[in-house]
């Protein structure tokens, strides 16, 4: 069972979280779907809750702060060694840092940015909190990908900021590359337009499940919905679903024969 307690190498998608308009409903939903257990912070940290599987952090959920927040969505945080330096690289490469680096107690330092094509993402400089500890198994992070507004511009931006290299695996029907860091596959990049008409640029989050059909049934039973019906890939069966607030995420049922997509 993959467990990593050390900080993830710079450029690796290292954490995901959701700001929920109905905090209690979101926690109940994901507890039912994935069996997550939550450790909730106090007022100082906005009652942010860390979800765990077998005692190891896998994701975070917090209540929306204020009435004018963005639509609910899972946010991907990329590990950095120095948040200030990474934010400067983002700006120099044409991105926008709309929430500058901010220290979160002893847990670490975060910032929020938008790439030049419109994808929002976070930066995370580890302190006591190093990101996901458990991954690629039931209820934990399996994959992250940037679905950009401009494929070539997106690839150039992330290569400049994080040193990504790419392996093209798309074809004439769609553009898609795996993302590599020092020979490790850490994610993917494609285009939002090929996900669906009118879909804005965004980073997508995949969670691993042992039983895709059973998990989908639970999602629907608990108030979520199926966005894209199950489909087969070389990396296992997948589906896109939404939570109780409409936030979209993907499920990945990885077979023993298929290579699991790893966050690092």
- Residue 77's DSSP bridge partners are 15, 122
Q: What is the pTM of this model?
A: 0.94
- Between CA 6 and CA 20 the distance in angstroms is 28
- Between CA 115 and CA 146 the distance in angstroms is 10
In a domain, 94, yes or no: yes
Q: What is the reported pLDDT for 43?
A: 74
Number of domains in the chain: 2
Q: Which secondary structure element, helix H or strand E, spans residue 215, and what is its range? A: helix 212-221
Q: What is the reported pLDDT for 261?
A: 41
In a domain, 261, yes or no: no
CB atoms within 10 A of CB 68: 6
Q: Is the pLDDT of residue 255 over 70?
A: no
Lowest mean pLDDT across 7-21, 138-152, 165-179: 165-179
For the domain that residue 245 is a member of, what is the CATH number?
Answer: 3.10.180.10
Give yes or no: residues 107 and 164 share one domain.
no
In a domain, 259, yes or no: no
Distance of CA 171 to the CA centre of its chain: 25
Last residue of a domain, one of 68, 98, 126: 126
Is the separation of the CB atoms in 113 and 90 below 8 Å? Answer: yes
- Which domain range does residue 84 map to? 13-126
Give yes or no: residues 147 and 121 share one domain.
no
Query: What confidence tens digit (pLDDT) does each residue in 116-141 have?
Result: 999 999 999 999 999 999 999 999 99
Query: What confidence tens digit (pLDDT) does each residue in 187-242 have?
Result: 999 999 988 888 999 999 999 999 999 999 999 999 999 999 999 988 899 999 99
Last residue of a domain, one of 78, 101, 126: 126
């Amino acid at each position: 069972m993959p467990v990593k307690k050390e900080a993830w190498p710079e450029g690796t998608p290292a954490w995901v979280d959701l700001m929920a308009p109905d905090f209690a409903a979101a926690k109940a939903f994901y507890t039912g779907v994935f069996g997550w257990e939550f450790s909730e912070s106090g007022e100082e940290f906005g009652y942010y809750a860390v979800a765990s599987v077998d005692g190891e952090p896998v994701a975070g959920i917090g209540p929306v702060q204020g009435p004018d927040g963005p639509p609910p969505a899972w946010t991907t945080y990329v590990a950095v060694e120095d948040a200030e330096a990474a934010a400067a690289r983002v700006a120099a490469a044409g991105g926008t840092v709309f929430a500058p680096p901010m220290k979160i107690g002893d847990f670490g330092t975060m910032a929020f940015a938008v790439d030049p094509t419109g994808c929002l993402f976070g930066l995370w400089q580890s302190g006591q909190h190093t990101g996901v500890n458990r991954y690629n198994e039931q209820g934990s992070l399996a994959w992250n990908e940037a679905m950009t507004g401009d494929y070539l511009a997106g690839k150039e931006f992330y290569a400049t900021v994080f040193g990504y290299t790419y392996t093209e695996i798309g074809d004439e029907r769609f553009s898609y590359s795996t993302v590599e860091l020092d020979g490790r596959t850490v994610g993917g990049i494609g285009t939002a337009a090929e996900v669906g008409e009118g879909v804005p640029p965004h980073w997508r989050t995949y969670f691993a499940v042992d039983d895709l059909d059973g998990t989908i049934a639970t999602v629907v039973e608990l108030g979520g919905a199926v966005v894209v019906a199950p489909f087969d890939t070389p990396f296992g069966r997948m589906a896109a679903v939404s939570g109780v607030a409409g936030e979209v995420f993907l499920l990945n049922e990885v077979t023993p024969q298929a290579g699991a997509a790893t966050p690092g």
